[in-house]
A and B are shown apart, each in its own frame.
Chain A
Amino acid sequence: GNSVTQMEGPVTLSEEAFLTINCTYTATGYPSLFWYVQYPGEGLQLLLKATKADDKGSNKGFEATYRKETTSFHLEKGSVQVSDSAVYFCALSDVSSSNSGYALNFGKGTSLLVTP
């Protein structure tokens, strides 16, 4: 079956530090990959996505590259801000093999705290 594994948190960084949150996946088909962000007490917001191998998704300074050879989709940002403090979820959608249409398979989330 499909699954997503992301690095355990919490991750604590100082402002302007470099961020990497690792995400690897297992899929039987050809998934689309997503990063969502959740601020406290809120729903999830799409951060970026990639739909095929070697695609790079980017938004608000965050980037992630779809690596089929390593089945990875690591999230990076060159200089984090306090306002980036949130929980980040990696997810995949694989309609070719899923029994759930386009429902997403989520990782467990990685909490990021950025301190001034």
Chain B
Amino acid sequence: DGGITQSPKYLFRKEGQNVTLSCEQNLNHDAMYWYRQDPGQGLRLIYYSQIVNDFQKGDIAEGYSVSREKKESFPLTVTSAQKNPTAFYLCASSRGLAGGRLDTQYFGPGTRLTVL
């Protein structure tokens, strides 16, 4: 089955610790994205990558870092510099520029991060 997997589903972290959220896709998509969702709000873009070895900051990148060493993988690290990291994190992928106006993003099941 093709799709996007995120792990773990629930993650707990102590203040001051870095934590890495996994995102893997087997859809052969070029573009991958990380969003953050808070209660009562829409999704906000953290980072995106349109191609391997390249990524760009989104609207709320402070306190986060990413890497894109493989086409299939786009891990997100939540660092201790992120002031309010408790949230639901969603990873998505799409064909990106190859998809043109028809491009559609497909989402993983999400990781709920709680800082204790």
B102 sits at the interface (CB 8 A): yes
Q: Is the CB of B41 within 8 A of A102?
A: no
A contact residues vs B (CB 8 Å cutoff): 4, 32, 34, 36, 41-46, 49, 51-52, 89, 93, 95, 99-104, 106-109
Cα A99 to Cα B107 in complex, Å, equals 21
Contacts A44-B90, A100-B48, A101-B97 hold; do A106 and B42 have CB atoms under 8 A apart? yes
We find that the number of chain B residues with CB closer than 8 angstroms to chain A is: 31
Contacts of A107 in B (CB 8 A): 42
Q: A51-B102, A102-B94 are in contact. List 4 more A-B contacts (CB 8 A).
A: A32-B103, A95-B97, A101-B48, A106-B44
Tell me whether chain A's interface is mostly helix, strand or loop, or mixed.
loop
Contacts A43-B108, A51-B101, A52-B101 hold; do A101 and B42 have CB atoms under 8 A apart? no
